[in-house]
Amino acid sequence: MSSLGFGTLQAGDRSFFTDTDPSEYRKILKRALSMGFKHFDTAYSYREAETLLGAAIKDSGIDREEITITDKIMSVPTLERKAEASLKRLKCDYIDYLLLHWPTGNEKLIYDSLKTLEKLQERGLIEHFGISNFTVDMTSRLSSDFDIAAIERPVSLLWTKDLFTTIELAKKKNIMVFGYSPLGMGILLGKKDFSDDRKNLPCLARPELDDLIKEIERLSLVKKTSKANICLSWALSTGADLIFIGASKVEQLDNLLDPIKLSDSEKLSLEMKADALSSSLVYDNLYGHNWKEM
């Protein structure tokens, strides 16, 4: 079963969770550290997340060596400078995993960015590097040309396209798989009324989403647990190495339930509904983007 890490998207970025209160998020990070979370995911674009995370780790008194940080930066010509800025925000000397946050149709830029990550690794500023949200074909090609240590993607019933193909490829190439959004940013729990850019996600308009949510609700009644726990338990059963969960309120962490075991037939019933949803969307990811393959 996968292990759990803590993601900081809820600290707010340019599109999602835009109304997060930094003072409240400091409490969330403090609570996550006190609960024993050791692996944290953040990104250059997550507003104050890096700064808040760095301060929380320092204030906790936990040795930096006991914490693993995965950070993400876009493929841009200024990648090296942004990585140095991230280190300052995080108040640390190195980043454990630095990933290219999103693909681009510019093949040269991707390759140049990965070469920059190699340079940062040689300088001792990062321990490992990898890619995030890349298609399985991109992942296959890039992992043949570079020492990709980790890939990050949704491990969520909201988006199962190429999930198990990606996990299989990663295992063959000894690449770690980090999953995010196991609760589908709240959508899998039946939430649809959003004030941020979640309201524009293509999946919200699909009838297949309603079918999936009904199946999650059905299984939550059968298993006598919450819908959130059904979604998280499924994500932890996929074979991904690590699942990042997040929180926008402290009580969401306090209410975190122990995962349950789903039978093969229960997992299959969820995956059939989830695959129907993903197949109905003609995109490379749940956000409605299509990438020009390299």
Q: Give the C-alpha separation, 46 to 50, whole Å.
A: 7
The average confidence (pLDDT) of the chain is 94
Average pLDDT over residues 33-52: 94
Q: Give the C-alpha separation, 69 to 208, whole Å.
A: 36
The reply to whether 46 belongs to the active site is yes
Average pLDDT over residues 140-151: 97
The single residue of 44, 46, 180, 287 carrying the catalytic annotation is 46
pLDDT band with cut points at 50, 70 and 90 for residue 2: low
Residue 258 CB contacts under 8 Å (≥ 6 apart), including other chains: none
What's the CA dihedral at 7, 127, 68, 235 to 10 degrees?
50
| Predicted TM-score (pTM) above 0.75 | yes
Give percent helix, percent strand, percent coil of the chain, each to the nearest 5.
50, 15, 35
Residue 192's pLDDT is what?
87
Average pLDDT over residues 12-32: 85
Among 256, 262, 277, CA closest to 31: 256
Average pLDDT over residues 141-154: 97
The CATH topology of domain 3-279 is TIM Barrel (3.20.20)
- The 10s digit of each residue's pLDDT in 203-241 is 999 999 999 999 999 999 999 999 999 999 999 999 999
